[in-house]
């Protein structure tokens, strides 16, 4: 995962054995050797076989790696990432134009290894692979919740595993300014609460990412989302200070003053410093969600607008954007901005990053700008992998573009906004769902089988945990913390629920930057794989396309749920879980109804009049979000009940 | 855990809340501030509440810490480790003579925190606590399997959590020499296969340990267990080389030549270097398991023995030990040796470390030597926490010593020998069972309730995982690796088995230093808590001291086991699991018999003649170790069957 562009199955398999050797031929690109070393370490983790990095001549090596030419000094958009991989009974040959293909091909080889009748083995296969889109990104928001450097590193490990190649690092926000500036040290000193990356750490992360075939682009969101800048530098704002670091969530009034030359002088120096720190060609200027209230209230800004014949705040923002774009271009970088920057006269160099809807993508291209899709890839909204997976950068309006225009759509980015995640559970919000997005952006467009994706995603999810991601283990520990003496029952209950979707959590408890994220909605994955499997099972039963095993499994599962509330009830004495008791009770009730339905379906006995409608109505109430949880197994139980009614 | 010396329950509880403050008063010991900082971090991990280290005046602080005097520059044996802790509704007061008591008291406070109806809270309590024994150690063998520095660090974290205070670092062996010597660099260069701690890393670990109230004592085992020394320095051996690093397990012939003055010259320089590196007062010289074969075969050694009137190899080893002891004393250290060093004329300074049996402890004391117990605390033998827990340093012969003599028994050490553990699963061999040993060595002798110990150990086990130990998560990942598509069924099966005990694993597969430890016996804990709980359940049922819930739980559990083999059987196609199929089949068969017995017990129906005896005999066969596994639930099922027979 992602599925390669071309796969031909061979016969036989290569069995992983101690003493395996590796050859590396081609130009001296340290990333190749480093990837090979990592391959050995990961293979050891994936098999439990102690392996060392042993070299051999290409004709004798178990894994023969060759690479044609050195890569670009700074990894470039569109740089060749292709590779060819041949697995035979004796080992594997991997060839690629650059180190990037080697990095990707080794991950493919690792994914092929599985337990077999001869030990851990990879099936014989011939693969020719290359990505569909050159920009396959993940946005990490280290501002709203601080993400320590270890979190960023393991996120990069996960990205490498699924062939993502851009870390979009969201580094400034109302709630925090997260990178050291030597020119303007009050940015981090007063705007970060002590949580920021030093320039040395940024360099370390960039090197770490480069080693894994990943570009790092910084985002400094402006002119809005800038409260944390103003704590140290209130003179940048459109209203007098003093300012404090924002602790709440939402869209706020503070915005830079686009009318003062001093703003651009500051930004020129700042962008000069940051374009020096971040070597990537692209530089993200943000540009989203300016509510304009500070501008409306500032008489000097109002007279500036009049004198410049600007009628709307959008025009004022366009003026600001054009000034900032010029600065970015002056420092030889290509600007990227959220889709608010897409106005008729936005410079053609700007890459438009679509977050509000897919339309702006096509519109940008038609205007001559390149574009990126993030709408539909927001990991923070707790939506299903399926929804993300079927969301295509060349779908919607973009499908109607000419092939030449479609090439201007560079790809997309999964977004991990961090209002409702902490460093503790962020892995569980990114993984494994980001792998589905990675496949959408890498694999051919026609790879769209959802069941196949889920089956492969489950295996990849385990592999990611083996490589050091904590999406499973952290949630396990969080549930143990909630119910030290009733963990198994909480696990059962937790497997049937999901957190409420989109932005609906923020309306319930009072969430701020400092609020604990330690309750059940934080400790369950955004998507319940168990509920999905149960739903599939019910689909088969209802369709009559079923077996005795299916029926037995459905029955056992629902018996377990029915009994679970009594098992779990002592844990609801804890104030952290108390609010979830009603949902747990609903699970038992729903399971009881489901068991009745299953019995009726099996016995073909007469069903009391109105029974199905009555139960359906009762179940309908249980589908509503409650205590920030959705009980995901109600809908399939409703299907069982409705099948009885037919 | 360990249970404090004196506990008085109060009324009410202290609720953990954001903004909690800490005061530290007393002398400037950096360990106090560092422990307080760690306390805040751990409390945050244990509750999910974001906390920062905020200070306040002692009368206003939530947690007021005071400490009377600075600790010793090098932590000393017997240094005061006591503390007093008062928890009230508003917070806690912790006072201690030295930083050591502060470190311990903060761990006690962390252990008191649990979910409550008001959030995470600690009950009001007054505690006065001090350890029973001054030496509460854990031996870590980094030689037979290499333990990276991260493993050592998290082991130290776990030791701090349960108030252990000595890391006994086993650093040289036939299979590897693990510390950098600058005087004799061929020791690590030729004797380690590249896996050794640099002197800087050793210093880092010693500082890390000191910060957690833990002394570090090195062991350089001699004159046997020394093959790895001889790879670089064959002239030390009693037979000509060349030597290679040993890869097999057992007792081997190579031993130092005790008759050459050059041996002692080498050891003088070496011990001088190492006593400089390790600041602790004690220095472990090993001294165990010399088979004497090289000495017997060496004519020069034989004539040396004749000329010195030595009749046995033991006498020769005593001569060697006395020479080495003199060197150690010259460098102002106190020698420790395994119980083989206990000969009638061993110097009184030597601390005798009992591993073969508890008798040598009492014998040592009677001879005027101090002693330590490790017999009965070998974590590598996969025995139950109960067995370790009930093993007392003042039990057996030691119980008959006078109170003055008993004071010469310093305590004990849990031993993690590493033939059959790797860095991947070593946590699961140490934890949580070492916590039971820690309690034996800290708490009053009369604290011996096994059920209470298990209940507390389970909670502490979860806390240890939260603090970064991987005893649970690593085994989870290993089972996923074995059966990516049948994890739940493997988990169920795995929860009913234990690895075979003592040294019986080594006789089956060919185990060497490099053999993969990636099969089921490696991926299950040494002790099955599930089997223990089931056994307790059956005890209640058989005794008639039971409830309907108990009967239902026993039935559900056995139904699950009965069905499990069919669920798991596809996974046995993997060669890594194939050998376990018969044991899994036995689980299903045993559960089927158990269900029949439960039915018969409930129905009071007549039982076919001979049924119980027949089933008992069939079950008896299943109790034998098979594929290095023991099916632990057979014995309680036998009890059910026998109850039917009565």
pLDDT digits (tens, 9 = 90+) for B20-67: 999 999 998 999 999 999 999 999 999 999 999 999 999 999 999 999
- The beta strand positions in B389-535, using DSSP E, are 409-416, 497-499
CA separation, residue B462 to residues A517, A572, B154, B453 (Å): 19, 19, 15, 14
pTM over 0.80? The answer is yes
Residue the block writes with tokens 């409830």: B547
B351-374 pLDDT, tens per residue?
999 998 888 999 999 999 999 999
CB distance B641 to B612 below 8 Å: yes
Closest residue, chain B, to A559 (C-alpha): B556
How does DSSP classify residue A506? G
pLDDT of residue A591: 97
Count how many Cα atoms sit within 13 Å of the Cα of residue B496 in the half-sphere of its side chain: 29
Q: Is A378 helix (H, G, I), strand (E, B) or coil?
A: strand
Cβ <8 Å between B462 and A473: no
Residue A289 designated active-site: yes
Residue of A40, A44, A50 to mutate for B, most B C-beta atoms under 10 A: A50
Are the C-beta atoms of B301 and B259 separated by less than 8 Å?
A: yes
Tokens matching residue A363: 């519109």
Q: Report which of B47, B15, B9 is spatially closest to residue B117, judged by C-alpha positions.
A: B15
Chain B nearest CA to A121, separation (Å): 10
Which residue is it, tokens 């833990």?
B214
CA distance A340 to A360: 9
Is residue A609 packed enough to be buried (19+ CB in 10 Å), middle (13-18) or exposed (0-12)?
A: exposed
Q: What is the pLDDT of residue B507?
A: 65
pLDDT of the residue at A174: 97
Residue from A53, A477, A560 to probe the interface with B (highest B Cβ count within 10 Å): A477
Closest CA to B598 of B549, B551, B557: B551
pLDDT at B508: 66
Question: Taking all residues of chain B, what is their mean pLDDT, rounded to a whole number?
Answer: 95
**Residue A378's Cα: distance from chain center in Å?**
7
Give the per-residue pLDDT at B55.
Answer: 94
Cβ contacts (< 8 Å) between B514 and chain A: which residues? 18, 50
Nearest to B552 by CA among A566, A492, A557: A566
Residue A441: per-residue pLDDT:
98
Q: What is the pLDDT of residue B512?
A: 92
Contact call for A117 and B476, based on CB within 8 A: no
| Per-residue confidence (pLDDT) for residue B607, from 0 to 100 | 84
Token output for B501: 């005990």
Total Cβ atoms within 10 A of residue B421: 23
Distance CA B617, CA B642 (A): 11
Cβ atoms B222, B286 nearer than 8 A: yes
B99 vs A604 pLDDT, higher one: B99
Output the six-digit token pair for B232.
């670089």
- From the list A72, A289, A315, A386, the catalytic residue is A289
Instruction: Please give the pLDDT value at position A508.
Output: 65
Please tell me the distance from the alpha carbon of residue B542 to that of residue B546, in angstroms, as a whole number: 8
Q: Is the pLDDT of residue B492 over 90?
A: yes
Strands (E), A514-602: none
Residue B547 is encoded by which pair of tokens? 């409830």
- Token pair, residue A168, equals 């979009």
Q: What is the pLDDT of residue B312?
A: 95
* SS3 at position A311: coil
Would the CB atoms of B573 and A117 count as touching at under 8 Å?
yes
| Per-residue confidence (pLDDT) for residue B217, from 0 to 100 | 98
CB-CB neighbors (< 8 A) of A515 in chain B: 50
Between helix A548-568 and helix A581-603 the angle, nearest 10°, is 150
Catalytic (active-site) positions of B:
289
Strand partners for B335: B283
Contact of A512 with chain B, judged by CB distance below 8 Å, is answered with no
A577 at interface of B, judged by CB pairs closer than 8 A: yes
Whether the per-residue pLDDT at B520 is higher than 70: the answer is yes
Question: What does the alpha-carbon distance between residue A590 and residue A569 come to, in Å, rounded to a whole number?
Answer: 17
Q: Complex ipTM, two decimals?
A: 0.88
Chain A hits for B484, CB-CB cut-off 8 Å, are 114-115, 459, 462
- For the purposes of burial, counting CB atoms within 10 Å of the CB of A81, is it exposed (0-12), middle (13-18) or buried (19 or more)? buried
Angstroms from A490 CA to nearest CA on chain B: 14
Bridging pattern class, strands B6-15 and B119-129? antiparallel
d(CA A59, nearest CA chain B) in Å: 26
| E strand spans, B241-350 | 282-284, 334-338
What does the alpha-carbon distance between residue B589 and residue B601 come to, in Å, rounded to a whole number?
18
Question: A581: part of which helix (H) or strand (E)?
Answer: helix A581-603
In whole angstroms, what is the distance from residue A122 CA to residue B34 CA? 49
* Residues of chain A below pLDDT 70: 507-508
Dihedral over Cα of B314, B320, B324, B327: its sign: positive
């Amino acid at each position: 995962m992602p599925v390669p562009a071309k796969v031909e199955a061979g016969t036989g398999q290569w069995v992983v054995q101690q003493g395996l050797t590796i050859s590396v031929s081609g130009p001296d690109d340290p990333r190749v050797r480093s990837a090979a070393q990592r391959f050995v370490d990961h293979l050891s983790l994936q098999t439990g076989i102690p392996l060392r990095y042993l070299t051999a001549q290409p004709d004798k090596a178990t894994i023969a790696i060759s690479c044609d030419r050195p890569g670009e000094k700074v990894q470039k958009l569109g740089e060749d990432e292709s590779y060819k991989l041949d697995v035979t009974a004796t080992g594997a040959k991997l060839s690629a134009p650059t180190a990037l293909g080697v990095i990707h091909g080794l991950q493919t080889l690792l994914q092929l290894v599985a337990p077999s009748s001869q030990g851990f083995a990879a099936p014989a296969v011939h693969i020719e692979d290359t990505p569909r889109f050159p920009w396959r990104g993940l946005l990490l928001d280290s501002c709203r919740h601080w993400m320590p450097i270890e979190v960023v590193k393991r996120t990069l490990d996960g990205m490498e595993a699924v062939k993502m190649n851009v870390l979009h690092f969201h580094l400034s926000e109302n709630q925090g300014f997260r990178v050291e500036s030597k020119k303007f040290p009050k940015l981090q000193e007063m705007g970060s609460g002590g949580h920021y990356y030093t320039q040395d750490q940024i360099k370390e992360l960039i090197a770490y990412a480069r080693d894994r075939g990943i570009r790092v682009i910084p985002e400094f969101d402006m002119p809005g989302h800038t409260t944390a800048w103003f704590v140290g530098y209130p003179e940048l704002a459109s209203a007098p200070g003093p300012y404090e670091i924002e602790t709440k969530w939402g869209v706020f009034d503070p915005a830079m003053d686009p009318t003062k030359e001093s703003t651009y002088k500051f930004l020129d120096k700042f962008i000069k410093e940051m374009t020096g720190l971040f070597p990537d060609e692209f530089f993200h200027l943000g540009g989203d969600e300016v509510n304009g209230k500070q501008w409306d209230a500032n008489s000097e800004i109002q007279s500036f607008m009049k004198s410049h014949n600007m009628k709307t705040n959008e025009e004022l923002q366009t003026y600001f954007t054009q000034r900032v774009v010029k600065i970015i271009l002056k420092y030889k970088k290509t600007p990227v901005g959220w889709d608010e920057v897409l106005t008729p006269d936005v410079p053609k160099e700007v890459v438009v990053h679509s977050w509000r809807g897919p339309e702006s993508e096509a519109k940008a291209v038609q205007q001559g700008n390149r574009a990126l899709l993030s709408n539909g890839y927001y990991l923070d909204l707790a939506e299903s992998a399926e929804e993300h997976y079927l969301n295509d950068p060349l779908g919607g309006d973009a499908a109607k573009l000419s092939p030449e225009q479609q090439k201007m759509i560079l790809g997309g980015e999964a977004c991990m906004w961090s209002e409702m995640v902490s460093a503790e559970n962020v892995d569980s919000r990114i993984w494994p769902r980001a792998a589905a997005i990675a496949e959408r952006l890498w694999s051919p467009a026609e790879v769209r089988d959802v069941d196949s994706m889920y089956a492969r995603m489950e295996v990849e999810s385990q592999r990611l945990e083996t490589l050091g991601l904590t999406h499973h283990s952290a949630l396990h520990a969080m549930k143990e913390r909630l119910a030290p003496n009733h963990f198994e029952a909480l696990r059962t209950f937790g497997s049937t629920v999901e957190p409420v979707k989109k932005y609906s959590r923020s309306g319930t408890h009072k969430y701020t930057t400092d609020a604990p994220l330690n309750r059940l909605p934080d400790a369950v994955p955004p998507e319940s794989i168990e509920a999905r499997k149960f739903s599939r099972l019910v689909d088969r039963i209802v369709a009559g396309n079923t077996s005795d095993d299916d029926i037995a499994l459905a029955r056992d599962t629902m018996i377990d749920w029915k009994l679970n509330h009594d098992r779990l009830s002592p844990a609801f004495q804890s104030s952290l879980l108390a609010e979830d008791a009603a949902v747990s009770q609903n699970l038992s009730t729903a399971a009881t109804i489901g068991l009745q339905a299953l019995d009726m379906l099996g016995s073909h006995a007469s069903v009391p009049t109105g029974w199905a409608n009555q139960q359906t109505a009762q179940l309908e109430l249980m589908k509503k979000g409650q205590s920030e949880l959705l009980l995901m197994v109600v809908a399939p139980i409703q299907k069982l009940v409705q099948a009885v009614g037919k």
